Amino acid sequence: MSSLPSPRGPLTERLIGALQDPPGALGTVELPSFPAPLADEDFQLGLYLCYELHYRGLPGVHDDWEWDPELLALRRDLELRFERALLDAVPRGLDPTPAADIDLVLREISEQDGPSLSSYVKVSASLEEFREFLVHRSAYQLKEADPHSWAIPRLSGAPKAALIEIQSDEYGGGRAEWIHAELFARAMRALGLDSDYGAYLELIPAVTLATVNLMSLFGLHRRLRGAIVGHLALFEMTSSIPNRRYADGVRRLGFDGDAALFFDEHVTADAVHEAIAAVDLAGGLAREDEALGTDIVWGARALSHLDARWAEHVLTCWNEGRSSLRRDLNAHTHGDVARPVLASG
């Protein structure tokens, strides 16, 4: 991200203006009503910017903004509304899910029918649509695993060991060139896209930002450690088959090598992670504290809900012959689109 994004409404106009000044310049912010916060551009960008201060920061923004009391108060107000909207859409269960049933319940959630973006990409997506798909995914994949890593100090024993086993693979097992975020960056470059962190934030809509804000909400709050574990467990359980389809799709378009490596790696890695995440991580946490079973399941269901909303948005736009981004990607192309490298076989 080379510069702050453009405001999308009164909230982000106030926030972005203040962030360009020294910490302490925000004051008290009276929020608009935001009747549909899960899809509101101003709301989701504002929350995303608040969270980014806890990751890599924002261009031209002083690091002390991360812990500015007025900004934290604003973030808290946004989080309360975000969580309330999530609970309206995906109610939290009243009774804890027994530890012995966690794996079964997660599998039931993973098998729910929904719009299959990966199936479309495999057989139908154009090159321009695949590039749009990468731009959407860049909001998370360029910091892949980081939101889930907030849970590490909040766990202990077997669940902590299981989480670290998964995260170690996500971070390349100590090899920088195999960090999954770097593999995704290589895929972007292979398709002629800018792989700089946050390069396309201007184009990424609220429905996509909400999926990333969900991870940050869960990861940054100890009280929601069950939800971030459930989120990660379902994330891993629903990854291998879609990534195989994405790899098939990019090869159908004539690309291989770096363009496909990220997806190939996830087909293999997440097939292993699936059992670890469901049984050792999520099930292990519920065995340690059965009361967290409810949040584990809720975190998984919230992920399923927001991902389905995102996939429906993208597919609806493509079926109507329009961009799924906020503006045309062609105006933001980074260099030339690489020529296809035909897959062998």
Quote the pLDDT of residue 166: 96
Quote the pLDDT of residue 68: 98
Quote the pLDDT of residue 333: 52
Sign of CA dihedral 188, 192, 198, 201: negative
**Are 269 and 177 in the same domain?**
yes
List of residues 6+ apart from 74 with CB closer than 8 A: 15, 26, 29, 31, 46, 50
Over the stretch 31-45, which tens digit does the pLDDT of each residue have? 999 999 999 999 999
Is position 317 within any domain? yes
| pLDDT > 80? residue 334 | no
At 200, phi and psi to the nearest 5? -110, 20
Residue 83 belongs to what domain range? 10-89
Is position 94 within any domain? no
| Confidence class for position 280, pLDDT limits 50, 70, 90 | very high
Where among 65, 89, 113 does a domain terminate?
Answer: 89
| pLDDT > 50? residue 54 | yes
**Are 170 and 249 in the same domain?**
yes
Q: Output the average pLDDT for the chain.
A: 93
| Confidence class for position 102, pLDDT limits 50, 70, 90 | very high
Rg (CA), the chain: 20
What is the mean pLDDT of the segment spanning 330-339? 56
Cα–Cα distance for residue pair 17/25, rounded to 1 Å: 9
Quote the pLDDT of residue 1: 76
What is the mean pLDDT of the segment spanning 18-30? 95
**Are 158 and 212 in the same domain?**
yes
Cα–Cα distance for residue pair 102/155, rounded to 1 Å: 17
**Are 212 and 83 in the same domain?**
no
- Percentage of the chain modeled with pLDDT above 90: 86
| Confidence class for position 113, pLDDT limits 50, 70, 90 | confident
Cα–Cα distance for residue pair 196/185, rounded to 1 Å: 8
- Percentage of the chain modeled with pLDDT above 70: 95
**Are 114 and 223 in the same domain?**
yes
**Are 171 and 198 in the same domain?**
yes
Where among 61, 89, 117 does a domain terminate?
Answer: 89
Over the stretch 218-254, which tens digit does the pLDDT of each residue have? 999 999 999 999 999 999 999 999 999 999 999 999 9
| Confidence class for position 95, pLDDT limits 50, 70, 90 | confident
**Are 196 and 158 in the same domain?**
yes
* Amino acid symbol at 216: S
What CATH number does the domain containing 172 carry?
1.20.910.10
Quote the pLDDT of residue 342: 41
What is the mean pLDDT of the segment spanning 138-159? 97
Is position 122 within any domain? yes
**Are 34 and 155 in the same domain?**
no
**Are 76 and 114 in the same domain?**
no
Where among 89, 121, 151 does a domain terminate?
Answer: 89
**Are 194 and 257 in the same domain?**
yes
Quote the pLDDT of residue 341: 47
**Are 306 and 286 in the same domain?**
yes
**Are 242 and 204 in the same domain?**
yes
Cα–Cα distance for residue pair 302/263, rounded to 1 Å: 24
Is position 4 within any domain? no
Is position 16 within any domain? yes
Q: Three-class SS of residue 112? A: coil
Q: What total number of domains does the chain contain? A: 2
What is the mean pLDDT of the segment spanning 124-145? 98
| Confidence class for position 335, pLDDT limits 50, 70, 90 | very low
Is position 298 within any domain? yes
Is position 338 within any domain? no
What is the mean pLDDT of the segment spanning 147-164? 97
The model scores a pTM over 0.85: yes
Is position 68 within any domain? yes
What is the mean pLDDT of the segment spanning 104-128? 93
What is the mean pLDDT of the segment spanning 119-139? 98
Residue among 83, 311, 62 at smallest CA distance from 214 = 83
